[in-house]
A and B are shown apart, each in its own frame.
Chain A
């Protein structure tokens, strides 16, 4: 590519009619372990600060350094916060994937590449910009070990110039990312400058993509779901946390530790009002949580699929012995040697009935980072109210990617600690029977150790109302029926579904969790492309309440969107709904490990509609 003598003004030289402003996405292809995440977050944050609705998706490998990784930044003036597979700007820095990356771009795209890769020979229907990254980095970074990191900051400067990103916002974003690390800050800023200068002096703007400030984010925050969840746990008043590291849940545990140190050390005594234990495995993690919950603490753990598998036995004990526990499942794809750093809603079926016998568990499905926070608050209340493990089913996309969100709200009520027997209760009830349903809601009273109130012997399901050991069939059946009654009570108390009815709609969509924003966008696409009006119900908890059934009765067919091969939510609905409704449920499934995008849903529904 020949350097151009035409300079900055070039950005403005795109004909007005051809400009594509705040409505495109950037794919950055790099090698992992080279610090590109920092560069990408600087870009993401700068766009957020410019007031542009933006999302960032990190598609990364299960590896520390050397494998391909992509980051997709989407600007959407219309406010769509879902993933997109249609990218218009590519930064191609990974020699291994560069050719394939170039070939997947649509005609008219802009491609910034590392000059030695000579990618401009591959196509002539896209705009290429060559940048000699190595030449540019050498003078600003003497230390060869640091070079590979600093090098990646250069594309931030190049993009900033080509796309007209506000340089002040880049500076602010960099400051936010690197904060107190002064030396790193200086070196990275130098890299951004070098990229900017290079683009200014050598690249002629020949693509239509531009970013302009908007006023959309002034009341918003930018946060990942795991951080939001960690904060929810802290403001719920969690006191015992036990966890075992596993992607994509680790940052939840780590963030709890960070904030606990700041906000939960008693000012007067300097002592901790919390205990965080990195357990030896997930069995121990949940065991500690149950021990703490039994002893009256608010206790939680965070894990992902393989950890959930290991927690099976204890989950059953928690259900039968009726011990509160909060378990965050930040779901990912399959086994540890599957695609452990990719997203999936993979654990619904196994978690719903996790363990042996007739276990059934309450599950909550946050649909945004905001709900990762609010549902953490709710999960602790529900766990103590129902004296049972509660699973919060997040996923990698929600948990590890950054989302624009409303600020996190301060809890508006005190924690609900559930039916912990008091002396007044004891007087009123005459006596304490741990497993008697005195209130008719299936929820018994409990006492906790270390109080003068009566004690009981806590064990699995082999007990009568007085918590005495028995294997009598009638006592067992009574207990199991009460547990079922308790689950029925929970139906009305768990977060209700969110419903968007639509007059004139025949078709319904049911979704949950991280597919929420893609479904919102798909509904618009269906209307625009095929004049197909849809109603939408977002499930927020299991067990489902009666509104779910009513929705399925109102619309047909109802497309259930699942991020798994087997349509796990649809299967769960089929188990729960009257049999005659089963045939109304159709499946939209997505299971390649990437976040779901609107086009996938739209295409799938339209093709199923066509074949009706």
Chain B
């Protein structure tokens, strides 16, 4: 099976991998967020994304700092805590051609930012939205976040006794059109999901478990490397075939689904549990709930809907970016004002 045929040195648009790198990370060595940055670099490099069009967004947290460490030559907006969805929404409305990539944390998304996240999902804003989920607030030194599992323990022995917010289940419930969970340590799965997200039209939610080595990687934590490796329950294998490549994967019929993405790329889901249908909302929610009961982290593409309109289409926006429309397009003529003045006489 092959996911890519690009030359190891230069990609489709003639750029080396180095062009996709960012500044040197200041996060802790071993932090899951760093691994996610690396996968982002690979995904964008391998697909030959034109960096001129990329806009990175983030909130506040260790995770939200990471856009400085990948895709260096691109525009980025590091906003305020929990409010990245609004900033990204505004920017993507201003210029519909931008390829929006948002990075948030579990605190940033599920605590302070839950309101904005909920509405981002409802609007189906065309954005890749990655939650680097470590179950704690890394940057403020290890307090529980709202995604901490019941019974998970902090280093100081405090046990979480509140139910977690499941970002994937919540998103599905709210009408999200692309919902996946992955693990920062699962290179192959995460890379394929990132590429698929790039080809999806609408919001792509990627909840990526990303252990915090400083504050949540100990015995008793349900988001430590050890626990996640032992309890990662992949929902089959995910293969991404870009639009410009032939599908050449052998798969057993019945357990594989071929999902055609908006730009003509394909997402092949193989070894799925018998009759799992990722376009079935109820099935997705049920499967998540079953995994939760078993203390497992269900990963993979959990839900997808390729038929919904995104926010840009809903608002019937003109094809040109609003930001750079010429004055003739945005200032009605003098006759219009004359007519309006007349109506107030």
A residues engaging B (CB < 8 A)? Answer: 220-223, 231, 234-240, 242, 259, 263-264, 266, 269-277, 279-281, 283-299, 313-314, 317, 321, 407-408, 410-411, 414-415, 447-452, 454-460, 469
A464 to chain B, nearest CB (A): 13
Contact of B93 with A287 in the complex, beta carbons under 8 Å: no
With A234-B332, A237-B330 in contact, do A291 and B78 touch (Cβ < 8 Å)?
no
Can you list 11 A-B pairs, Cβ within 8 angstroms, ordered by A? A222-B344, A239-B322, A264-B332, A266-B329, A272-B316, A275-B317, A285-B86, A287-B89, A288-B87, A291-B57, A291-B77
Question: What is the minimal beta-carbon distance from B148 to any residue of chain A, in angstroms?
Answer: 25
Q: Considering the complex, which residues of chain B in the window 64-116 have a beta carbon less than 8 Å from any beta carbon of chain A?
A: 67-68, 73-80, 83, 85-95, 97-98, 115-116
Q: Which residue of B lies closest to A289 (CB)?
A: B90
For B330, what are the chain A residues with a Cβ–Cβ distance below 8 Å? 237-239, 264, 273-274, 298
A302–B284 Cα distance when bound, in Å, is 40
State whether A287 touches B316 (Cβ < 8 A): no
Chain A neighbourhood of B85, CB < 8 A: 284, 287
Give the shortest distance, in Å, between B147 (CB) and chain A (any CB). Answer: 21
Question: Given A264-B332, A314-B80, does the pair A239, B55 have CB atoms closer than 8 Å?
Answer: no
B312 CB, min distance to chain A CBs, angstroms: 8
Are A292 and B93 touching (Cβ within 8 A)? yes
Question: What is the CA–CA distance of A483 and B51 in the complex, to the nearest angstrom?
Answer: 30
Given A288-B90, A292-B94, A415-B327, the answer on whether A273 and B322 have CB atoms closer than 8 Å is yes
Q: Which of A220, A273, A411 contacts B325 (CB 8 A)?
A: A273
Closest to A220 in B: B345
Most buried by B among A236, A266, A414: A266
A293 proximity list for chain B (CB < 8 A): 90, 94
B323 touches A450 (CB 8 A): yes
Closest 3 pairs (CB-CB, A-B): A287-B86, A291-B90, A288-B90
Segment among B7-15, B220-228, B288-296, B335-343 that sits at the interface with chain A: B335-343
State whether A235 touches B337 (Cβ < 8 A): yes
Chain A residues lying within 8 Å of B163, measured Cβ to Cβ, are none
Indicate if the CB atoms of B94 and A271 lie closer than 8 Å. no
Closest to B119 in A: A280
- Given that A287-B86, A299-B90, A408-B337 are known contacts, is A458 also in contact with B77, CB under 8 Å in the complex? yes
Beyond A271-B316, A284-B116, A297-B95, 12 additional contacts (C-beta under 8 Å) are A259-B340, A263-B332, A274-B322, A276-B315, A277-B123, A287-B80, A290-B87, A294-B90, A296-B95, A407-B341, A448-B323, A458-B75
Residue numbers of B with Cβ under 8 A of A are: 23, 51-55, 57, 67-68, 73-80, 83, 85-95, 97-98, 115-116, 118-119, 123, 315-319, 321-325, 327, 329-332, 334, 336-337, 340-341, 344-345
B317 neighbours in A (Cβ, 8 Å) = 271-272, 275
B116 touches A295 (CB 8 A): no
Complex interface: chain A residues within 8 A of B76 (CB): 455, 457-458
Q: Are B93 and A317 in contact (CB under 8 A)?
A: no
B52's closest neighbor in chain A, by CB? A452
Decide: A263 and B336 in contact? CB cutoff 8 A: yes
Q: Please, how many angstroms separate the alpha-carbon atoms of A326 and B53 in the complex?
A: 26
Whether the Cβ atoms of B91 and A295 lie closer than 8 Å is yes
* Residues A291 and B88 in contact, CB atoms below 8 Å apart: yes
CB contacts (< 8 Å) of B318 on chain A: these are 266, 269, 271-273
Question: Is there contact, CB below 8 Å, between B115 and A281?
Answer: yes
A288, B89: Cβ atoms closer than 8 Å: yes
CB distance from B101 to the nearest CB of A (A): 12
By a CB distance below 8 angstroms, the chain A residues around B116 are 280, 283-284, 287
Q: Is the CB of B315 within 8 A of A272?
A: yes
Shortest distance between the CB of A411 and any CB in chain B (Å) = 7
**Most chain B beta-carbon neighbours within 10 Å: one of A235, A294, A295:** A295
Q: Which B residues are CB-close (under 8 A) to A448?
A: 75, 95, 323-324
CB-defined contacts of B324 to chain A, threshold 8 Å: 296, 448, 450
Closest beta carbon of chain B to A258's beta carbon, Å = 11
Contacts of B78 in A (CB 8 A): 457-460
Chain A residues positioned under 8 Å from B331 (CB to CB)? 235-237, 411, 415
A293 to B330, CA, bound (A): 15
Least CB distance, A176 to chain B, in whole angstroms: 9
Contacts of B75 in A (CB 8 A): 447-449, 455-458
Residues of B within 8 A of A239 (CB): 94, 322-323, 325, 330
CB-nearest residue of chain B to A453 = B52
Partner among A238, A283, A452, A469 whose Cβ is within 8 Å of the Cβ of B86: A283
* A297:B77 contact, CB within 8 angstroms: no
**A572 and B98 alpha carbons, distance in the complex (Å):** 42
A272 to B78 CA separation, bound complex (whole angstroms): 29
Residues on B with beta carbons closer than 8 Å to the beta carbon of A276: 315
Most buried by B among A287, A289, A314, A460: A287
B79:A297 contact, CB within 8 angstroms = no
Kindly report which residue of chain B lies nearest to residue A456, judged by CB atoms.
B75
- Which residue of the partner chain, among B68, B73, B94, B332, contacts A295 with CB atoms under 8 Å? B94
Nearest Cβ on chain B to A492's Cβ, whole angstroms: 25
Whether A237 lies near B327 (C-beta < 8 A) is: yes
User: CB distance B344 to A221 under 8 Å?
Assistant: yes
By the criterion CB–CB under 8 Å, are B344 and A292 in contact?
A: no
B73: chain A residues at CB < 8 Å are: 454-455
Tell whether, in the assembled complex, residue A408 and residue B341 are in contact, meaning their CB atoms are under 8 Å apart. Answer: yes
Q: Is the CB of A223 within 8 A of B83?
A: no
Report the minimal beta-carbon distance from B339 to chain A, rounded to whole angstroms: 9
